[in-house]
Amino acid sequence: RAKYLIAASGIIDYLPALENMRNVYDYAGYNLHVCLICDGYEMADKNVGVFASTAGNAEVVFPLGWFTSEITLFTQGLFEVNDELGQKIQQQGYQIIETPVEQFLGEDHQMTGVELTDGRVIELEAGLISMGSKYHAQYLDTFDLEKKGGNLVTDKMARTSHPRIFAIGDLKVGLNQVVIAAADGALAATQIWRDIRRSQPPKAANTDRVLR
């Protein structure tokens, strides 16, 4: 029965699927990052492991290279590094490790490396997970809204391709940052108010108070 809907349910990042997920949660959000834009500076000049799930999201090693030159890409055995990507990575002097990760190592939420399934230990000073995200937007599937990748396409007032459905924050195309999500909310609310206002006549003047 709602006249308008603002979808604000965000996304959740996929994490390395280890048998013991507690081990991932011990470090994720500390020095095992998920957001280059948010936390890139914390990886400056550090020995960083990038944990990717596709050749596409492995490309994050290149913008990360602005912060640090010591980068190891962990494919976790999930995808093949094609010749073009392999060459680009080699040219930058980054390492590639295809053996899956057994567990993250460290203490007090500070990850210091990984143990691989073949028993090797690789030392690291920070990590960046780049494995895509799950969009909390299944409830919108019936509307067949326009998307780019997984993100909802919106106009400058956060309106989707449906005139009465708005999407804000991480669900939509744009930068995944708190201030953007908050600003989107203000835009969507303002536009909804405008729509409602334009569909209704202004309040009738109190004729007793009209000056003659």
User: Under the rule (CB under 6 A), what is the footprint of ligand FAD?
Assistant: 8-10, 13, 29, 34-35, 38, 136, 169-171, 176-178, 181
Residue type, 66: W
Q: Based on CB atoms, which residue is closest to ligand FAD, 72 or 176?
A: 176
Using CB atoms within 10 A of its CB, is residue 41 exposed (0-12), middle (13-18) or buried (19+)? exposed
Q: Nearest distance from residue 169's CB to ligand FAD, in Å?
A: 2
Q: Based on CB atoms, which residue is closest to ligand FAD, 124 or 168?
A: 168
Q: Nearest distance from residue 63's CB to ligand FAD, in Å?
A: 16
Q: How far apart are CA 94 and CA 13, in angstroms?
A: 24
Q: How far apart are CA 74 and CA 86, in angstroms?
A: 13
Closest residue to bound ligand FAD by CB: 169
Q: Nearest distance from residue 34's CB to ligand FAD, in Å?
A: 5
* 72 contact partners, CB below 8 Å, separation of at least 6: 47, 48, 49, 50, 94, 95, 96, 97, 122, 124
Go through the chain and tell me how many residues it has: 212
Of 173, 170, 191, 194, which is closest to residue 182 (Cα–Cα)?
170
Q: Nearest distance from residue 191's CB to ligand FAD, in Å?
A: 17
Q: Based on CB atoms, which residue is closest to ligand FAD, 77 or 139?
A: 139
Q: Based on CB atoms, which residue is closest to ligand FAD, 38 or 121?
A: 38
Q: Nearest distance from residue 98's CB to ligand FAD, in Å?
A: 26
* 45 contact partners, CB below 8 Å, separation of at least 6: 67, 68, 69, 70
**Which 8-state DSSP code applies to residue 203?**
P
Q: Nearest distance from residue 13's CB to ligand FAD, in Å?
A: 6
Q: Based on CB atoms, which residue is closest to ligand FAD, 24 or 171?
A: 171
Q: Based on CB atoms, which residue is closest to ligand FAD, 10 or 132?
A: 10
